């Protein structure tokens, strides 16, 4: 398909919007991509081929969906905005390997839908231009459900992408970095200017690639407790780890006990959480959980 005929051009996008009298809903975070080169880059980063099935989230008027349909085996797209139904039926009518599911991805039975639409034993990739206001809830649900997926490649707010892929000791590193990297190998694949969207967002964007791990990065006995401890450590970034943990576990452990636990895993309580690796947090969680469960 020539770039001139693709949906993802300013002219074609405006024609479609005008034809259907479509108005953007700010509450849904709708920003449509109008640059085919950006979409080509996203597919390249995701490794989409005819030997892969794809789940898309928030197809909009079908710009990314169209490119996925051309390059993938099968595409299933989740869309929350029912107003887009006639538009997508029009823009994607040439492709028999696309199914649109008009459900909220946060409420849908994703595993059941995957089983219904993906018949072949092909790797499943998630590729999307995500609504920025709900990026983290969507990604964490996808990861925590342990879905049988190969990778996730998404356009999101640059600041959030940087946080998810951040390394210890950096300003962006936090509990979100650890939660995402526990399940995946995370990398910011490319930065994207505001000019490739209609309407233009108020924030800078980036494409984040998450390669799912076969096993979590660290082994912990209680995942819920592990993530709770991590969040406690980052509760107030400028405070020491000792202070944050003392505040969080007040009534459960006294300060002396907390200090003993820190020393047991050779972690200096005057450090800040942002300097700890995920392995150090896992060691700390094991020590705290051991005593809490006794």
Tell me the binding residues for S-adenosyl-L-methionine: 31, 33, 58, 79, 104, 129
Largest CA distance in the chain: 69
- Report which DSSP code applies to 160: H
- The Cα 168–Cα 188 span in angstroms is 16
Neighbours of 194 (CB within 10 A): 13
For residue 234, what are its two tokens? 């980052």
Phi, psi for 230 (deg, rounded to 5): -60, -45
Reference 76, options 93, 99, 53; nearest CA is 99
End-to-end CA distance of the chain: 64
Cα distance between residue 276 and residue 287, in whole Å: 15
Contacts of 202 (CB under 8 A, 6+ apart): none
């Amino acid at each position: 398909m020539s770039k001139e005929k693709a949906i993802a051009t300013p002219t074609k996008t405006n024609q479609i919007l005008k034809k259907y009298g479509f108005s953007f809903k700010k509450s849904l975070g709708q920003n449509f991509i109008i640059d085919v080169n950006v979409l080509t880059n996203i597919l390249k980063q995701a490794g989409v081929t005819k030997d892969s099935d794809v789940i898309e989230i928030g197809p909009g008027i079908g710009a990314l969906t169209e490119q996925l349909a051309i390059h993938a085996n099968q595409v299933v797209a989740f869309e929350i905005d029912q107003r887009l139904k006639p538009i997508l039926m029009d823009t994607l009518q040439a492709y028999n390997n696309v199914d649109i599911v008009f459900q909220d991805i946060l409420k849908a039975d994703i595993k059941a839908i995957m089983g219904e639409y993906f018949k072949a034993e092909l790797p499943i990739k998630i590729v999307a231009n995500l609504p920025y206001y709900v990026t983290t809830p969507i990604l964490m649900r996808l990861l925590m459900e342990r879905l049988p997926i190969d990778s996730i490649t998404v356009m999101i707010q640059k600041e959030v992408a940087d946080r998810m892929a951040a390394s210890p000791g950096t300003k962006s590193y936090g509990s979100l970095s650890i939660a995402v990297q526990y399940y995946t190998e995370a990398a910011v694949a490319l930065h994207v200017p505001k000019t490739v969207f209609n309407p233009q967002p108020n924030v800078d964007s980036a494409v984040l690639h998450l390669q799912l791990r076969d096993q979590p990065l660290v082994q912990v006995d209680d995942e819920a407790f592990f993530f709770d401890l991590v969040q406690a450590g980052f509760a107030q970034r400028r405070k020491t780890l000792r202070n944050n943990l003392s505040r969080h576990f007040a009534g459960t452990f006294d300060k002396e006990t907390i200090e003993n636990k820190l020393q047991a895993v050779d972690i200096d309580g005057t450090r800040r959480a942002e300097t700890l690796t995920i392995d150090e947090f896992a060691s700390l969680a094991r020590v705290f959980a051991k005593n809490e469960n006794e």
